Amino acid sequence: MHNLFGMAEIGNNIDTAQGLLQEGHLVAIPTETVYGLAGNAFNPDAVASIFATKNRPAFDPLIVHVANYQQAEELVTHVPEKAKLLAEKFWPGPLTLLLKKKSIIPDLVTSGLDHVAVRVPGKEITLALLSKLDFPLVAPSANPFGYISPTNAQHVENQLGSKIKYILDGGDCTIGIESTIVGFENGEVIIHRLGGLSVDEIEAVVGSVTVKNHSNSNPKSPGMLLNHYSPTKPILLGDIPTLLAENKNKVIGILSFKDEYSADYQKTLAADGELKTAAKNLFASLRWLDEQPIDLIITELVPKHGLGLAINDRLTRATAKKH
């Protein structure tokens, strides 16, 4: 399965992916949000190898991917009414529900917590794969822990190609930012991670929600560690002209929302000013800048509404000091 260089094969053969997963191997899979590093959710060895391959702390829980609502229901003890409404409206899609798990889900998946994060991804090729398997897939983003999430098959190849055998290619991710994670406590709807589904869209279905976004240790749900999504280059967040003036003696890479600057290395997230465009381009732009011969990346917050809240969350975490 490996080629001469020990890199993963990239292809769109669902049977190949199915065979490897059934044997306990890991396969990278596309979703509408980012590419995931997938393994059998019921196989603790496969789950452990995801942590090892990503170099991910075992206290950061994983998301379980299923083909449909019925499969999700089989993994949990109870689905609150508001969770059902959200699933009906947004699955398949960038919505992850945090629900009380049955014991069939290994504790390693949930980091010992009694709730499991579950979603139906909005990508045809992956739904076809999931519907052929007799187990769900755990699939955190297919990148080394704390690094930029991959939004196409080549990103996965570049970062994890030597560690896995197969990358199921579903083209570029249409959303490009992780799923929104929603939990339920005493009838209250709580957003644990901002993501590809906006707070407004969720509130339109279930009424007002509480946002409790990220934590720095033992998070309740996936992707909530503060220092996450980080490039290897230092990154500063603020007013771009001010930061440029303060760092004149350095080779700078600029990541702006929509404005162009006279710099050799820059990426504009959304020339059209659309937050959806910015979300889609975020990780690929960070990754490109990180690969350039620069000393420093400087960036700015995007407008603070809709998907902008999730984008700003990722940017803030990318700039968090490495521990």
d(CA 156, CA 147): 12
Residue 294 domain flag: yes
Residue 167 domain flag: yes
Residue 223 domain flag: no
Residue 219 domain flag: no
Question: By three-state DSSP, how is residue 301 classified?
Answer: coil
Residue 1 domain flag: no
Residue 323 domain flag: no
Q: Name the burial class of residue 291, with classes exposed (0-12), middle (13-18) and buried (19+) by CB atoms within 10 angstroms of its CB.
A: middle
Give the contacts of 148 (CB within 8 A, at least 6 positions apart): 229, 230, 231, 283, 286, 287, 290, 318
- Are 106 and 204 in the same domain? yes
Q: Which residue has the tokens 């704390």?
A: 146
- When divided into structural domains, the chain yields a total of 2
**Percent of the chain scoring above 70 in pLDDT:** 92
Give the contacts of 121 (CB within 8 A, at least 6 positions apart): 31, 32, 33, 36, 65, 92, 127, 130
- Are 207 and 239 in the same domain? no
Q: What is the mean pLDDT of residues 220-227?
A: 66
pLDDT at position 191 is 95
- Are 79 and 197 in the same domain? yes
Q: Name the burial class of residue 73, with classes exposed (0-12), middle (13-18) and buried (19+) by CB atoms within 10 angstroms of its CB.
A: middle
Q: What is the mean pLDDT of residues 151-178?
A: 96
Q: What is the CATH number of the domain that holds 259?
A: 3.40.50.11030
- Are 176 and 287 in the same domain? no
The amino acid sitting at 119 is: R
Q: What is the largest CA-CA distance in the chain?
A: 59
- Are 279 and 198 in the same domain? no
d(CA 321, CA 323): 6
- Are 207 and 301 in the same domain? no
202 phi-psi bin (left φ>0, alpha ψ -120 to 50, beta other): alpha
How much is the mean pLDDT over the chain?
A: 91
- Are 69 and 156 in the same domain? yes
Residue 136 — very low, low, confident or very high, per pLDDT cuts 50/70/90?
A: very high
Question: By three-state DSSP, how is residue 153 classified?
Answer: helix
pLDDT at position 217 is 47
Q: Out of 27-41, 224-238, 286-300, pick the least confident.
A: 224-238
Instruction: Tell me the CB-side half-sphere exposure of residue 237, using CA atoms within 13 A.
Output: 15
> Can you list the alpha helix ranges (DSSP code H) found in 133-261?
153-160, 199-206, 240-246
**Final residue of a domain: which of 211, 246, 268?**
211
Domain encompassing residue 54: 9-211
- Are 86 and 172 in the same domain? yes
Taking only the tens place, the pLDDT of each residue in 1-43 is 434 347 899 999 999 999 999 999 999 999 999 999 999 999 9
- Are 200 and 95 in the same domain? yes
Q: What is the CATH number of the domain that holds 162?
A: 3.90.870.10
- Are 194 and 55 in the same domain? yes
Question: By three-state DSSP, how is residue 206 classified?
Answer: helix
β-pairing, 95-100 vs 115-119, is antiparallel
- Are 242 and 140 in the same domain? no
pLDDT at position 57 is 65
CB 163 within 8 A of CB 144: no
Residue 49 domain flag: yes
- Are 169 and 288 in the same domain? no
Residue 224 domain flag: no
Q: What is the mean pLDDT of residues 177-189?
A: 94
Q: What is the mean pLDDT of residues 139-161?
A: 93
> What Rg value do the Cα atoms of the chain yield, rounded?
19
